[in-house]
Structure 1
Amino acid sequence: MQHELERDAVWLGLDLGTQSARCVAVDSAGEVLAAASRPLTSHRDGKRHEQDPEQWWSALAEASREALAGIDPARIKGLALDGTSGTILLADADGTPLTRGLMYDDGRAAEQAVRVNEAGARVWQELGYRSMQPSWALPKLLWLLDHETAAAGTGVRLLHQTDYVTWRLAGRQPASDASHALKTGYHLTEDRWPADVMAGLGVPEGLLPEVVSPGTVIGAVCAEAAAATSIPEGTAIVAGMTDGCAAQIGAGALTPGAWNSVLGTTLVFKGVSPHLVRDPGGVVYCHRGPGGSWLPGGASSSGAGVISREFPGADLAELTVLAAESDSDAVAYPLVSTGGERFPFRAPEATGFVLGEPATEAERFHAHLLGVAFVERLCFDYLDLLGAPVDGPLTLTGGGAKNPYWCRLRADVLGRPVLRPEQAEGAIGMAVLAATSSGVSVQDAAAAMVRTGAQIAPDAARHRRWTPRYLEFLDELVRRGWLDESVAVHAKGRAAR
């Protein structure tokens, strides 16, 4: 039976990023009717990065009340929520947090990661990512079990970031989604928790949530949540995905070989493959996608967050104009995190550096823009080495994509055309996924709701200019012992073609 989106329906996309919580209301034709956001605060201490789970809820509730103030409640049919990948907490049997939220790039669990990778080596190999990094959810869960006295209580639950919010929305604990459960060790090909691995790690039975596929209706908004958020009671709650996958849906990157590059605080890559992509280096992992496809990708510790750190209070629009006029070829390795790099290579000891000598603040700014573009190019070179299809359409999303010059620079460095969707963001992707609760496929919902925007073509001369500098950048990464030389050789071979 063919389903169509109800023309007058409104779909809500909720997004929990690193720096803000956001709500958008989108109609079935893709028009954003309203949007609002509220800031989130973090606490960083060395490799530790935490947030207050209660703030996730209060910020989303405030954003939702503002966004929905002028919308007829009868039109609102469904919602879906995305969050940062690998962010977890422990809660009691009533859903009250027992710990702070350990964020996606919290790197405290290095010792626990060793145990996880010894116990789960066979399963992680089957799933293609080979090993877990300390920032993944399962090592951090073991850290909480090792260090938090509350973990010894009865009825304790592991919650992913989105699980806590959907619990508040539904008034009970709904199922988690397989996208967020990936980094907690969920067996994506067998649709189950690997019980033997969890038992060997001492994870208590009953701690882990039920898991369903993204797009599954997992509950409805309860009366208490409706009063707090202005989302009508009874609105369908649809199981969401991680922020990178959400942005991929919002960009309409759902065909084999298509990729979405999300430039937010960090750089997140998501693509579509007809087969599971296995990575001997353990930095690329695959979500399950719609229709049996796979969504390979990775999350870097480099990205636009370096701009706010290095240029606090600066007029970025003015710096961009001056940077575009600059003739400097200085390049900065744009590492945001203090916990080293995660993708396109793994180097816990990595730190930022600058090649060349920027003479002005604008040249130093340009060096960081260029560094992100170089990391992005290396991501594609590495994915190609793994056998992932990389030649489909490329969309650029995230806060960094709002800078037109930066998008053009990235196209020039990559030597390929890029699309900048009109409204693509994680919250838009979640509105699209929410619309599947009406019975349509995510591909059909995206076709109706996603506006692909204009294409930016690369300049061949500028591509030739940046390629030698890119290869020097790779050599420096190899020299520092962070990048395997075989990856650099492959990248140079692609450049020569």
Structure 2
Amino acid sequence: MRILAFDVGTSGVKAVVTDTEGRLLDSAFCSYGLRAKENGWVDQDLDDILTATRHVGRTLADRNAGIGGVSVTAQMFNLVPVDPAGRPLLPMLSWLDQRSAGEAAALAARMPPDLQFERLGAVVSAKDILPKILWLRDREPEVFGRAFKLLDCKEAVVMWLTGRAVVDHAGASAYRLYDQVRRDWDWPLCQELGIPVQLLPEIRRATDLAGTILDPVAEQLGLPPGVPVVVGAGDVPASQAGSGAVGSGDVHVSLGTAIYFGVTMDQPGRDPARRLGALAHVDSGRWILWLEIATGGAALAWIARTLGLDPEGRVDYDRVDRLVAGCQDQMQDLIFAPWLSGERVPVFDDHARAAFVGLGLAHGPAHLLRAVMEGVAFQMRWALEYGHQFGQDLATIRAVGGGTIGTQWLQIIADILGRPLHTITNPQDAGAIGAAACALVALGHWPDFTPLKARATIDTTYQPDPARAETYTRRYATYLRLYEALHPLYHRETP
């Protein structure tokens, strides 16, 4: 038997086929876009996403007989209202979307940060699902009134496959309407905020069956009728599992459009700064400390595009590596603050914006590229240091995602973190492999997620260079002063 697993990302969908040992047998990819507007609105067409998903699924089904299970992972922190048939009533509000900044501010006025931390488990921003729901309720009441369910991306794909609106515990915890003790929706909280619980999907384990594939969808995908579909998990917990970071203290870092660390914990922990809460894990007995940097790979894609280094819309990583390597000792005091679309950990500021500081006449394109890489890596160090407050000892850091293509950036990250960075074999497939693992556990082929530790083999290790690490530590001290210095500009009163 074989497993078909979809990884529905921000820029496209990848599908993989594995055997019952979790070995990768085949893969396919189809891209799509997102729409960004000057007012901070960023959305995606769910129909485009489903069309791409249908295409890669059919491609793999035609090449691989014996598919006996389907699973899905997808980008998280999106929102799409759907009708009873799973059809979108509006374009999907992306996790990058900031249209609900006013709702986030209104929520903060009604429920101050300390109270949010106690009631919601975290302090939310416009990029979270909850303010998006409040925006939809208040700004699009007609759509809100017609909505059958309010879904994140993965849940919308699973509903298309099965007709069932279900969410795993990790996905439910991302709504910030989740009771960590009861492991169910927080009914009193939903009532207080004016959000009908019946609009939220049913909570199930990631390894439960969502249902069987609908006959018309099976025909479109070229699959036999009755194939079981697993609930699955979003990209954070799926990549955590697929990277092999399944033991207590294991860390994975995803170098995608956004960058985030995931730290496996046996308990949800508690942020001494009372800002950040853990997400549930694919393993129902564990938790993930999720430390996100809002624009990671997106920052590199932006500067590459600006400098004309993305022929046919794809970053030329080989050329980028050559340019960046050649200016290693010529940066002087140039530093980049990478807050192109606000920032999450540790400043939690939707209004923060990026800046080059220390530009001189001697700086050129190569210096700008390296500054962006270094600035993102400095923010990663800041986020990881924030995570230390939870008291979890950190083990090996495994890197996954598209950002692992460029070797120079990985070395910069290792030097700035002052810790070894390990890339795994097929790093871009970690999310899909994690989704496939949910199906392997659900269908009884694996007892739990432990086999992923050995399955996700380390390919390359980037050791920090002591001399560069010392230099970066001095520059990091300057970086830490940037946010405080620039904060008044982001938050000034406009006439």
Contact 1:176 1:212 (8 Å CA) reproduced: yes
Deviations 1:15-68 (A, max 9, x none): 111111111112234432111111121111222111111111111110111233
Aligned residues: 468
Is 2:290 aligned against 1:297? yes
**Aligned equivalent of 2:124:** 132
Q: Evaluate the alpha carbon distance shift between residue 68 and residue 93 of structure 1 in structure 2; reply closer, same or farther with a 3 A threshold.
A: closer
Aligned match of 1:494: none
Aligned residue for 1:177? 168
Percent sequence identity is: 25
Cα contact 2:35–2:43 (8 A) shared by 1: yes
Q: Using the alignment, how far apart are the partners of 1:227 and 1:375 within structure 2?
A: 47
RMSD: 2.2
> What is the Cα deviation at residue 322 of structure 1?
2.2
Q: Provide the secondary structure at the position in 2 that maps to 1:33.
A: strand
Q: CA deviation at 1:263?
A: 1.1
Q: Distance in 2 between matches of 1:391 and 1:378?
A: 15
Counterparts of 2:116 and 2:225 in 1: how far apart (Å)? Answer: 41
**Equivalent of 1:412 in 410, 415, 425:** 415
Conserved in 1, the CA contact under 8 Å of 2:248 and 2:266? yes
Alignment correspondent of 1:98: 89
* CA drift at 1:308: 1.9
Report SS of the residue matched to 1:454: strand
Q: How does 1:1-150 map to 2 (within 5 A)?
A: 9-45=1-37, 46-72=39-65, 74=66, 76-117=67-108, 118=110, 124-126=116-118, 129-150=121-142
Q: C-alpha distance in 2, partners of 1:236/1:123?
A: 42
The one-letter code sitting in structure 2 at the alignment partner of 1:476 is L
Hey, what's the Cα distance between the residues in 2 that align with 1:102 and 1:179? 19
Structure 2 residue identity aligned to 1:461? A
Q: Which residue of 2 aligns with 1:324?
A: 325
Paired residue for 2:460?
A: 454
Q: Letter of the aligned partner of 2:352 in structure 1?
A: A
Match of 1:219 in 2: 211
Distance 1:335 1:412 in 2: 21
SS in 2 for 1:271: strand
**Residue 465 (1) aligns with residue 468 (2):** no
Distance 1:270 1:400, change over 3 A: same
What SS class does the counterpart of residue 347 from structure 2 fall into?
Answer: coil
467-476 or 350-359, larger mean C-alpha shift: 350-359
TM-score normalised per structure 2: 0.89
CA distance in 2: counterparts of 1:186 and 1:128, whole angstroms: 8
SS at match of 2:261: strand
The alpha-carbon distance between structure 1 residues 354 and 192, as it changes in their structure 2 partners (threshold 3 A), is same
Candidates 258, 261, 268, aligned match of 1:276? 268
Long gaps (5+) in structure 1: 1-8, 483-497
Structure 2 distance, partners of 1:176, 1:123, is: 26
Amino acid at match of 1:431: A
1:443 partner SS: coil
Bigger mean CA deviation after superposition, 106-115 or 175-184: 106-115
Tell me the secondary structure at the aligned position of residue 11 of structure 1.
Answer: strand
Deviation at 1:87, TM superposition (A): 0.6
Residues 387, 448 of structure 1: alpha-carbon distance in 2 compared, 3 angstrom cutoff:
closer
Show structure 2 runs of 5+ residues with no match.
310-315, 489-495
Aligned equivalent of 2:338: 334
Q: Deviation of residue 152 (structure 1)?
A: 5.0
What's the offset of the Cα at 1:392? 0.6
- Answer yes or no: is the 8 Å Cα contact 2:255–2:296 preserved in 1: yes
How far apart, CA to CA, are the structure 1 residues paired with 2:119 and 2:243?
Answer: 26
Distance 2:378 2:204 in 1: 37
Q: Assess if the C-alpha contact under 8 Å between 1:30 and 1:450 holds in 2.
A: no
Is the deviation greater in 17-26 or in 455-464? 455-464
Give the Å deviation of 1:116.
4.3
- SS of the residue aligned with 1:307? helix
Tell me the amino acid that sits aligned with residue 317 of structure 2: L
Name 1:343's counterpart in structure 2: 345
- Report the AA paired with residue 58 of structure 1: T
- Post-superposition offset of 1:126: 4.2
SS of residue paired to 2:63 = coil
Scaled by the length of structure 1, the TM-score of the pair is 0.88
- Residue 392 of structure 1 aligns to a residue whose secondary structure is coil
Counterpart residue number, 1:191: 183
Distance, in Å, in 2 between the alignment partners of 1:396 and 1:336 is 23
SS at match of 2:51: helix
